Amino acid sequence: MGVPDTSKPLDEELYSRQLYVLGLPAMQRLQEGRVLLSGLQGLGAEVAKNLVLMGVGSLTLHDPQPTCWADLAAQFFLSEQDLARGRAEASQEGVAKLNGAVQVCVHTGDITEDLLRDFQVVVLTASGLEEQLEVGSWCRKHGVCFLVADTRGLVGQLFCDFGEDFTVLDQTEEEPLTAAVQHISQGSPGILTLRDAAEARYFCHVDAVTFSGIEGMSELNGCAPRPIRVREDGTLEIGDTATFSGYIRGGAVTEVQRPKTVSHAPLDAALLRPRVVAQSPQEARRARCLHQAFRALHGFQQLRARPPWPWDPADAEEVVRLAQALEPPRGAEGAGQPGEEPLDEALVRTVALSSAGVLSPMAAVLGAVAAQEVLKALSRKFLPLDQWLYFDALDCLPEDGELLPKPEACAPRGCRYDGQIAVFGAGFQEQLSHQRYLLVGAGAIGCELLKGFALVGLGAGGRGRVTVADMDHVERSNLSRQFLFRAQDVKRPKAEVAAEAARRLNPDLQVTPRTHPLDPTTEHLYGDSFFSRVDGVAAALDSFRARRYVAARCAHYLKPLLEAGTQGTRGSASVFVPHVTEGYRAPASAAAPGDAPHPVCTVRHFPSSAGHTLQWARDEFEGLFCLSAKTINGHQRAPASLAGPDLAGPGVPALPRMVGVLRHRPRSWRDCVAWALGHWQLCFGYGITRLLRRHPPDEVLPDGTRFWSGPRQCPQPLEFDASQDTHLLYVLAAANLYARMHGLPASRDPPALREMLERLPRPDPQRLDPVLSSGLASPELGPRQEEWLREALQDWGEGSPLEPLRFEKDDDSNFHVDFVTAAASLRAQNYGIPAATRSQSKRIVGQIIPAIATTTAAVAGLLGLELFKVVAGPRPRSAFRHSYLRLAANSYSRYVPRAPAVHTFHQLTWTCWDRLKVPAGQPERTLQSLLAHLQEQHGLRVRMLLLGRALLYSAGWPPEKQAQRLGLRVTELAQQVTGRRLPEPGQRVLALELSCEGEEDGTAFPPLHYELGPGSGRSTPPGSARGPPVAAQ
């Protein structure tokens, strides 16, 4: 069978987030890849989906077996209408629609040795051992990478054989380490001093480096990899430089990542001597036991021509006997593993009892990892698995054996959930159907979660429902990883599109889209009434601020929270259960985000890193093309607003530079080019010259140190040269943006622009004097500059309003990223700083989070497994799992969440899940009554009482002020202080915060829930009732 040619240009807009994970060379190799995938049950569907979304060149599907009811529990390309149709043929159309650039074919015949020659990778799912051995030997013979993937109920298996000598070109996800050079000595060895000495520690594990951008010792630029050694003083030895030219300035040292060759054993040998991926010896022993369990399941299939019946004790015992009869696995050579290990019969028995089922979350996890390994094979990026991975989620089953399903409860019903019923029983399926869940976020993870909800039947019956909330709209860059969206959905609301697509996957799913965000401004929409009808929340958000808010709402309403996030091939999935686990805590790094602005003075005059130059360029864009336009438009509407002291508005400091050398509003494309050229001279030529007049290169400070030393790199002015691409790109981008802002026609023709620039006179520095004076001294304008600016604004005020340009990173045709990239690069040249590439600039300035479909699918599957536990009812903390994975590094960690921290104060004991409950009573109690109640019932002498940021009471107030408030009803007082009508419609609780006498620093009392409406009785102390929240009726 011939496979069509897969060569095609790369769609960088579509794969923009994935490119930051793989890089361009690896992405191009992936796009040329040819894959054969055999087996289109749930696991095969997940592999196919991920490969097509990621942009593999061609995918050939093979599975002539007829679709059955059990398939529908995890196979989202099939429906009831496909029953009895061949799985591959029925799936082809749905797979192909995911990405029109991928060729999706179907092979209807047998798999033969000749067939395999056309492919680079072959993947078998849901296959027998005999077929695996035969196909594996053929692949080995012809140099084809071979994978086996399988799931049996709550356990999964993945095997990789990439041959005896497989070369990995790039082992890591991180970009090569780069640092700015301060000095390089001539000698043997030459000694390299980094501009930031603290960066030397990062080079301790670097084998070799190369150099770029060095002035003087140019022999090092682009040199062959040179070995290095980090010295105790933080300098680096870089080999012999004695005969090289003397170092002058600038340059960067960059790590050279060397290829690595890995060797895999063929399947027949690996079966007997398995090398398993594990994080600990205990995990390795469990993995080898699961290895034997899978071999025994294959043996059972050969003997009985069927898999074990669901939860059938006799079949399970036969699988155990088959496992006992197998030759024990021997330890891998050099791995330090024991030659033989006792078989964990209980584990094998549990695997056999639950092995008949097909579960969507298991297919998602194993399908994601399998697709990632296919990507590694095709792209030669990241180290492949060595060689077996076993994943089990048997923790989803009840720990109490008496609660395990009975065979009759797991028998097929002839419905789409048969594969799931085979593991958990029909009763649990009924529980799932009645659940009411809120999904916050319909992006990549949100789409995968909603797909999973539809497949497992969450909210698909009775009073069940899923509400999906997302305010964003579909963008084209979403399509490479957000499974529910298609090209025709671009610019439509994500929540609505996702809900429609989920209903197509399962027509019984009750799903409601909401296009309002979940944040403090929408608490009237997502308030007490809404959350009283919610059983749990799943969060798929891309900011820690949003995650913290949603987690706080879940804690307030005592709702379980499922939460996941990804960055490249890293992913995490967490579960938070009231009174059982710890509450959500954002990572420590989230408290001080990495994108915090650098010091203003450093960015303006003393940059020392690419990050500084990029922030300067981004600020330039904002000031020149957005704030200036807004300020001028404001002046047109109200000219007096810029008179006198009002000239200090936010856009005014940028106005002198925006007005620039023209002093009048541009009327043509030529005017825009003249302005852009003048601004180039201002920023990278004349402005630097003026700075050096203030601080000459040889300036010495009173303490004897040189002004230009340490992190302050002495800049050098640039001479404009239209033949240099970066110079031309800056003018082209700046002129286009200036023209767009003024509503003028522009040009995208670089040769024509270069010709025009040759004819334009260079700007006179004297004409830039008002700009230079105001731009370098301070953001304040002096009298001369104010007068100059008023005259210029009179001309600008005569035309139509300007268009403020909002920075948009995802449109590569709008010159936004081009301007920032060119401006930052030129700024870096001024200061001898290694410049960021366009791709790096776009990621940093656009705050783009690298993303790939495989990681997204994996974390969604992991959350789906935790969902089973939450819905099943009360479970001990030991049943739940937080998960962290790194697909690039073959690291998979699952661990039990911590218990909630216990706090004490006098006789009170509480955790983050507790609260003080006080009924308002009828008639409603006063503030004085509330304070007395807290003292009598809990021994708390309240020092301060707050509602949000509003202070309702303070013991430090004068007696007369306290007296004015103590007699007021609590809601009356809250309404008076906040100025809002309280309680709001549907509001059932006022959540108050209190501070008490005798508390220590850092004490955080539980919130006080002042319960509104009819009711009376004693308040409920924290800790008096433990356990998961009861679903609202």
Neighbours of 646 (CB within 10 A): 13
DSSP codes of every residue in 855-912: HHHHHHHHHHHHHHHHHH----GGG--EEEEEGGGTEEEEEPPPPPPPEEETTEEE-T
Q: Can you read off the two tokens belonging to residue 792?
A: 């210029």
Residue 198: alpha-carbon gap to chain centroid: 29
Tell me which residue of 396, 394, 411 sits closest to 312, measured CA to CA.
411
Give the residues across from 390 on adjacent strands: 157
Q: Based on the residue annotation, tell me whether 601 is a catalytic residue of this protein.
A: yes
Q: Please, are residues 903 and 910 in contact by the beta-carbon 8 Å criterion?
A: yes
Rounded CA gap, 652 and 646, in Å? 9
Angle at the Cα of 108 from the Cα atoms of 102 and 114, rounded to 5 degrees: 85
Rg of the chain in Å (alpha carbons): 33
Q: Please, are residues 814 and 193 in contact by the beta-carbon 8 Å criterion?
A: no
Residue 713 three-state SS: coil
Rounded CA gap, 622 and 630, in Å? 11
Q: Please, are residues 884 and 998 in contact by the beta-carbon 8 Å criterion?
A: no
- Report in angstroms the alpha-carbon separations of 561 from 102, 440, 582, 814, 953: 37, 11, 11, 40, 33
Q: Which of 68, 145, 554, 601 is catalytic?
A: 601
Rounded CA gap, 772 and 826, in Å? 18
> 783-796 vs 628-637: helix axis angle to the nearest 10?
70
Rounded CA gap, 406 and 423, in Å? 10
> 444-456 vs 360-379: helix axis angle to the nearest 10?
140
Tell me which residue of 510, 521, 505, 563 sits closest to 539, measured CA to CA.
563
Q: Please, are residues 850 and 569 in contact by the beta-carbon 8 Å criterion?
A: no
Instruction: Specify the DSSP element, H or E, that contains 784.
Output: helix 783-796
DSSP codes of every residue in 923-983: TTPBHHHHHHHHHHHH---EEEEEETTEEEEETTS-HHHHHHHHTSBHHHHHHHHH-S-SS
Rounded CA gap, 534 and 465, in Å? 9
Dihedral over alpha carbons 926, 930, 935, 937 (to 10 degrees): 120
- Report in angstroms the alpha-carbon separations of 689 from 251, 333, 662, 685, 699: 22, 67, 21, 6, 15
- Report in angstroms the alpha-carbon separations of 854 from 48, 169, 366, 379, 480: 11, 20, 10, 15, 11
Question: Which residues are CB-contacts of 965 (< 8 A; sequence separation ≥ 6)?
Answer: 927, 952, 953, 973
Residue 670 three-state SS: helix
Residue that has been written with the tokens 């309404």 in this structure: 975
Please name the amino acid found at residue 848: I
Rounded CA gap, 126 and 132, in Å? 10
What does the chain come to in residues?
Answer: 1033
Give the residues across from 147 on adjacent strands: 123, 160
Q: Please, are residues 457 and 466 in contact by the beta-carbon 8 Å criterion?
A: no
Q: Can you read off the two tokens belonging to residue 607?
A: 């940059």
What are the residue numbers of the active site? Answer: 601
